Each structure stands twice: as structure tokens, then as C-alpha cells.
Amino acid sequence: MIGDQKILFSGMQATGTLTLGNYLGALKNWLELSDEYECFYSVVDLHSITVRQDPAELRKRARNLLTLYIAAGLDPKKNCIYYQSHVSGHAELAWILNCFTYMGELNRMTQFKDKAAKHADNINSGLYTYPVLMAADILLYQADVVPVGKDQMQHLELTRDIAQRFNAIYGDVFTVPEAYLGKVGAKIMSLQEPTKKMSKSDENANASIYLMDDPDTIIRKFKRAVTDSEACVRYSENQPGIRNLIDIYCACTGKTPEETEKEFDGKGYGDFKMAVGESVVSVLKPVQERFADLSKDKAYIDGIIKENAEKANYYATKTLRKVQKKVGFPERIR
């Protein structure tokens, strides 16, 4: 806890391009949290290199992601927005926590199995110990809460287990984090396979809306979105494609599914898809314009990077020195 506020940690990987799903499901919700919590939002570029990256492209995407955080409305004075790789405490704490994590626990991580299947030519130990680095990310800032999706819940449970195990040995060192259970963002599915999440790594370009897509591209992708043969706009489990489009429309307009059904009662899918596309264009336009302006102001973004790295390092070092002392490392001579 910092002052009277609880601490919240979250982050996104600096790989691929952010999708509408990332924005509506996470980033848009982050804007409402900075009044309630002391927030640390990381560009988690250490996690990114478990898969081979082009170095220049990784640097570019990391900067774009950090700029997008601000373009989306996150105030870098109220929120600590920083590169994970600029805070060495993440990697240092991860090594210590590796020594308090059991092989059996890591063997049960379903994401490792999924990623190993996708990258069979590069099953590295970083991919295997990824959840421990994630635990270090969270525990380094003594985070009280972490917004997590269903696919990350297993990692948060491991983080809690590691923190409790360490505390049982050395006393009350780490805050044991809880899942953030406040307002949950819309879960946005693929436009081409509406039974799976929209993904920035989808090979089908028509499956995802990217935050930097121009209006024509957005409208075209929605026109091609998979629907069904029922020809009515109804929020039903039996119509996953239409249900997904309704979720997107509601997230962009603030309307309810019931209001949306009434609005498009008797209208065809063509009209509905066009309306959804236009609502997305109107939501993304100010973000895109702000991103373009910020990208031109190199000195401003560089200043944010430096200032927030210093802030993150300050809080990370407090935790790290405490942990190093507890495990028996020699104190540093100042």
C-alpha cells in the first residue's frame, strides 16, 4: 500500500499490435482504476523474448505500446507506465523466486503446454519459468490486486502460493495479491472464429481489429465478420458471431444487449455490421489521433520513460533489498 491507496499491477506484452479486444477488455478499464489504486502498468518486454524477436521491431513495438497506454487516456503522472526491462529488479527477484517454486507447480501450467505446442522449435527454459517472472512482476511492487483474465488465473494462484511459502519461511515480506474483481471489460472474440478470443497473433488478418486500423479497414472487416443463417440480431449462445458483435457494439456505445436487439429488430445483418463498424471507428479515432500527436513528441515520451523508470525502480528496490536481506545475501556497502 502506498499512502492510503492499494497497489494494482498489470501489463501487456510488447509483441504484435494491440487489438480492439485488448482495448475494450483491459486498457479502457484501466482508465477508471487510477483514482482508486496506485497503478503500475508495465510494457512486459522481458516476457516477450521467450519467442524470438527482431530487435529493432521489439524496440519499436515497446515504444508504441507505451505511447498507446498514454494515448488511450492513462495519465503518466498518476500511473507508473514503464518498461519492464528498465527495472532490473524484475529479473533479480525472478531468480530468487525460482528457488522457491517447485518443478511440479510449473509442470501443471497449461499455458506452457499451449505455447510449447505452438513453438516446438524453441521450447526454452524462459518459456517454462515465465510464470515465476510474472510472480516477480506482481510481488516486486507489493501489489494488492491484479486484473487477470481467465487464462492468467492459474499464474496468479501460483504467485499467491510462492508469496505465502516465502512469508511462511521469512515472515511477512510479500503482500499476497488478490484477483481484481471490479468491473470486467468486454470479452471480445475473433470476427472469423467467434468461439475463440480476438488475438493479436491471429494469422487471419480479418479476424482481429487492430487499434491502428483505418476506418475503411475496420468497416471492411466487420462486413466480413462471421454470422449465421438466422438473420436476426439476437443475443444468444446459439449465435456466437452476432453475440460477439452485440458485445462490441454495447462496449462502444454504452447500450445494453436488450436495447441493441430492439434497435435492430427487423433489420438485416448488413445494417447491423455497418453500425458496429462505425461505433468502433468513433471510439478508436481519438485514440489514434492522440497516438499520432504523441509519437511526434519524442522528448515528451522520452521524459515519461525516464521519470517512470525511476519511480518503478524506487519501489522495486525497496522490496528487492528486503528480500535479499531475508535470504542471506551480504548487505551493500554504501
Domain chopping of the chain, boundaries: 6-180+298-327, 205-293
Active site residue 197: yes
Distance CA 86, CA 305 (A): 9
Class of residue 260 by CB neighbours under 10 A (exposed 0-12, middle 13-18, buried 19+): buried
- The confidence score (pLDDT) of residue 184 equals 59
Fold match between domain 6-180+298-327 and domain 205-293 = no
Give the pLDDT mean for 246-253.
Answer: 94
Compute the C-alpha angle 291/46/128, nearest 5°: 135
Average pLDDT, the chain: 91
Active site residue 115: yes
Give the pLDDT mean for 202-231.
Answer: 92
Cα separations in angstroms, 327 against 88, 125, 175, 213, 270: 18, 24, 17, 50, 63
pLDDT band, very low/low/confident/very high, at 245 (cuts 50, 70, 90) = very high
- Cβ atoms within 10 A of the Cβ of 231, count? 10
Catalytic residue among 6, 187, 200, 223: 200
Give the tens place of pLDDT for each residue, 78-102.
Answer: 999 999 999 999 999 999 999 999 9
DSSP-derived secondary structure letter, 5: B
Give the tens place of pLDDT for each residue, 33-90.
Answer: 888 899 999 999 999 988 888 999 999 999 999 999 999 999 999 999 999 999 999 9
Q: What is the CATH number of domain 205-293?
A: 1.10.240.10
Which three cell numbers, joined as nine digits, stand for 7? 497497489
Whether this model's pTM surpasses 0.95? no
Chain centroid, CA 244 distance in Å:
20
- The confidence score (pLDDT) of residue 182 equals 65
Catalytic residue among 28, 60, 113, 197: 197
Catalytic residue among 28, 115, 221, 273: 115
**How much of the chain is in helix, strand and coil states, percent to nearest 5?**
55, 10, 35
CATH number 3.40.50.720 given to 6-180+298-327: no
Distance CA 261, CA 176 (A): 43
CA dihedral 300, 304, 305, 310 (to 10 degrees): 140
Which three cell numbers, joined as nine digits, stand for 306? 525516464
Class of residue 39 by CB neighbours under 10 A (exposed 0-12, middle 13-18, buried 19+): buried
- Cβ atoms within 10 A of the Cβ of 14, count? 27
Alpha-carbon torsion (233, 282, 15, 204), positive or negative: positive
